[in-house]
Amino acid sequence: MADWIRRTCKETVWDYAGRAIGHARKSLRAVEKVPKRIPQLDAVRGLAILVVMFHNISPKYPLFHSDKLFSNGWMGVDLFFVLSGLLITGILIDTKQSVGYFKNFYVRRCLRIWPLYYSLLFFMFVVVRFLNPPEYHVVVQTSSPWWAFPLFLQNFMLPISTNAAGPLGVTWSLAIEEQFYLVWPLLVRFCSFAQLRRLAIAEICISPALRYYLSLHHVDLYTNVFCRLDGLMAGALLALLVRSDDFVPSKVLKRAWILLFLAAPLAFLTEAFHARWIVFSFTALASVAFVYVSMFSEQKWLETVMTNRFLVYTGTISYGLYLLHKIPIGMAQVLHLDRHPYLPVPIIFVASYALATLSWILLERPILRLKRFFEARPTQLDQQGGPLAIAPPGRESV
């Protein structure tokens, strides 16, 4: 009996070690398969933020009918969600068996998001109070309760979080991502590839029905985390796809083009009928298809566009552009620049790029250097006679 127990325990330990080695080796293959820096993803991010900026600027300063051209520019946020799902899921999978998995992930996320975000909150709720008391009164009126913002609960606590004052009105999407980070790392850690794939597909399929039900009860779909998971899950599904053992980019490329050309027009069409419950599904599908063809298409014209230095740089500073671009919009209104129809838009863009560049150079990039202290470390697998190194993530720029 004692021999049987020892033999069983030994087999159990070996089974566990084998599974751990399998996960680790799959992560290593994934790290080798996906390059550390993909300029096309920065370019996608750059396109997304430019569309969002034009969407927010054009209603106040319509230049050459840009208000109509970019009326659906909010869809650029879905591109951000897909990119986040892709990159975050990839990072989590690649470090799944590493020591300090949770600590490293959450600290690195905080280093990326918190410095500029909390600096913005300090500016809006403290500095503005002394610089411009009347404007602070507007901030209080439209952005209460104030404590929802530091807790990333504005998408739940504010009646319409997109109506918050100035740059606070765009922070709802950060709240959704932070809420996503509370759950997804746990699922990635303890679920298999197949389970994660089924979970992502199920969420994408269930979301339209959930949104339709909630729309019947007059729930604001736009900023509700349970209504905007399509893009994050579509990105996660793509991360799983490119890390599968039998993945060959060319095999899926044609289907990605077809999906893009079908889903994008359907997104605009359903938005014209105000059917938001299904619009978000089409924008997520179109976005993930666009990301895929941007990464893997070998068409020269697309490669040229997606490696354009301006777009890549715009993507690099896109976080600052996203959070700060409404400050120049507000300044343009204060200075009454609308008296000159062709002046506000270029000034707003130049000022936005200047603010985002300063944020990147003086705040974001120096703090991001601290990430080197929270890299993935090898997992010790004594049963196999030595450690298996887990390569640190190098694609984390969202």
What is the per-residue pLDDT across 242-263, written as a single tens digit (0 to 9) for each? Answer: 999 999 999 999 999 999 999 9
Is 384:29 a contact under the CB 8 Å cutoff?
no
What is d(CA 166, CA 7) in angstroms, rounded to the nearest whole number? 66
What is d(CA 123, CA 355) in angstroms, rounded to the nearest whole number? 14
Mean pLDDT of the chain: 88
Long-range contacts of 345-352 (CB under 8 A, 24+ apart): 345/57, 345/61, 345/63, 345/66, 348/57, 348/61, 349/53, 351/327, 352/53, 352/321, 352/324, 352/325, 352/327, 352/328
What is d(CA 177, CA 86) in angstroms, rounded to the nearest whole number? 13
What is d(CA 150, CA 132) in angstroms, rounded to the nearest whole number? 22
- For residue 75, give every residue at least 6 positions away whose Cβ sits within 8 Å of its Cβ, in sequence order, or none: 51, 267, 283, 287
Q: Is the pLDDT of residue 152 over 80?
A: yes
Is 120:170 a contact under the CB 8 Å cutoff?
no
- Backbone φ and ψ of 387, nearest 5°: -80, 155
Cβ atoms < 10 Å from Cβ of 19 = 12
Token pair of 209 as six digits: 């029905």
Is 396:93 a contact under the CB 8 Å cutoff?
no
pLDDT at 235: 98
Model confidence band, residue 58 (pLDDT cutoffs 50, 70, 90):
very high
Which of 67-76, 143-152, 201-210, 336-345 shows the lowest mean pLDDT across its residues? 336-345
